[in-house]
Amino acid sequence: MGHTSPVTSRRSAFVAAAVGALVLAGAAVFAACGSDSSTRSDRRTPGTTATAPTPTVTTVAPQTIPVPPLPPAGPTTAPPPAITVPRGTVSTAPPASTTPSTVTAAPASSTPPTVTAAPVTTGTSPSRSTTKPSTSTTKPGGVTRKTVVYSPPGAPKRQADLVVPRNHADAIVVLVHGEGNRKQMRGWADFYAEHGYPTFAIDYLVAKQTTPSPVYPKPETDVKAAVQYLRGRAGALALDPDKPAAFIGFSGRYDGHRPDQTKYYGGAPNSTDPQVQARYAEADSIAHAAGAAGPALLFQGEADNPELVASATAFRDALQNAGKDVTLTIVPGARSGFDQEASGALTPAGQQAAQQVLEWLQARFPPA
């Protein structure tokens, strides 16, 4: 959509577009809407699951209903009404009807993850050749699985898992996990494969104690390089390199705030260094919502960190005010990571969200 910002979502993000690529959001806030690359402040501990009861979601027939914006301070005391927003409308929508397996995906643009993506400026030529190719045949008519190196020559080595169904759509879903764990996206990749969507689950730079400051925009640059890699191979993968981008985000924080932001951006928020201030400004997806180039689908647990609920609401409002196609689903009683088990498999609530994602993608990006 036209800009970049740090990943601040719970688990992952999807960037999608023919080879704009689809991106699954859930942990990272990388978006077709833009780019995002900071990790959320209250990540889910690996190997554990949310303690809250499994949320349920209801569904109603498509309808256009004006919905007043949610309070910016956090979730409401009662779950919002279930509403499905048709293409071109903006409002708060509920999760969709139950269906099979996993979720991840949103079309992406040539930009990194976030919400105001900027054009891809790194990885100008196809990156290194694939490594460790391994193929396996599973459900719908066969699926090819490979681990490849997507980073361009001379850049730090970054790998991705490419999953391509034999019969597939001409758009690909880029899966970006909020904690940089591509293996955690297997459930989503399987879901997409079952429904004919190729996926590209990536690793990217995750800030550690030893990572030099500033970290930004290196993670965002990695995501851009992944999209560039796919664009360079669109013909071989039977993808459409010109499809518009889209963004799907789960439990994201869209204002660029991070627990380690002084290190991440190279200075405190009140720094007088213009370069530091520029990093903070670029990382704020909410501020750049008007530059979003594609539709956005957001999921947020009602019982999650209030700051994340407020961020998702503010992002929805900013996109809506800019006239963008945006749908925000508040899942009653849900916390961060409600859609996946520790193993990566989709939970019942995750399967419902996955079905909503599938219907959303099919409505906005119908098969050619």
What 3 state SS string does 125-174 have?
A: CCCCCEEEECCECCCCCCEEEEEEECCCCCCCCCEEEEEEECCCCCCEEE
pLDDT for residue 141: 55
> Cα(190)–Cα(138) distance, rounded to whole angstroms?
9
Q: Which residues contact 28 (CB under 8 A, 6 or more apart)?
A: 7, 9, 11, 12, 13, 36, 37, 39, 113, 176, 177, 178, 179, 180, 204, 252
Token representation of residue 179:
């904690």
Q: Residue 245: its pLDDT value, please?
A: 85
Residue 40 lies in a domain: yes
Radius of gyration of the chain (CA): 18
- Position 271 scores a pLDDT of 98
Asked if residue 3 is part of any domain, the answer here is: no
Is residue 241 in some structural domain?
yes
d(CA 145, CA 36): 26
Question: Of 252, 217, 240, which is closest to residue 110 (Cα–Cα)?
Answer: 240
> How far is residue 53's CA from residue 50's CA, in Å, rounded to a whole number?
8
Helix (H) or strand (E) holding 199: strand 199-202
d(CA 66, CA 29): 27
User: Please, which residues have CB within 8 angstroms of residue 54's CB and are 6 or more apart in sequence?
Assistant: 338, 347, 348, 349
In-domain check, residue 7: no
> Is 252 a domain residue?
yes
pLDDT at residue 365, rounded to an integer: 87
Q: How many CB atoms lie within 10 A of CB 176?
A: 40
Is 309 inside a domain boundary? Answer: yes
Number of domains in the chain: 1
Among 158, 133, 297, CA closest to 227: 158
Per-residue pLDDT at 249? 96
- Taking each helix axis from N to C terminus, what angle separates 186-194 and 348-364, rounded to the nearest 10 degrees? 50
Sign, CA dihedral 62-311-251-297, equals: positive
Q: Show the domain range for 328.
A: 12-364
Asked if residues 222 and 204 have their Cβ atoms less than 8 Å apart, the reply is yes
DSSP secondary structure letter of residue 159: E
pLDDT number for residue 280 = 98
Is residue 1 assigned to a domain?
no
Residue type, 191: F
Kindly state whether residue 127 falls inside one of the protein's structural domains: yes
Give the per-residue pLDDT at 327. 98
Structure tokens at 146: 């490979």
Evaluate the omega torsion of the peptide bond into residue 214 and state whether it is cis, within 30 degrees of 0.
yes
Residue 74 maps to which CATH number? 3.40.50.1820
Whole-model pTM? 0.68
Please name every residue paired with 161 in a beta bridge, in sequence order, or none if there are none.
Answer: 147, 201
Within 81-217, residue ranges assigned H as helices are 186-194
d(CA 110, CA 213): 26
Closest CA to 201 of 140, 118, 113, 99: 113
| CA distance linking residue 117 with residue 129, whole number of Å | 27
Is residue 37 within 8 Å of 113, Cβ to Cβ? yes
pLDDT of residue 13: 52
Which residues of the chain fall short of a pLDDT of 70?
A: 1-141, 368
122 contacts 229 by C-beta, under 8 angstroms: no
Cβ-based burial of 118 (10 A; exposed 0-12, middle 13-18, buried ≥19): buried
Alpha-carbon distance of 65 to 92, in angstroms, equals: 9
Tell me how many helices (H) and strands (E) the chain has: 7, 11
Which token pair is 31?
């978006």
The predicted structure's pLDDT at residue 71: 38
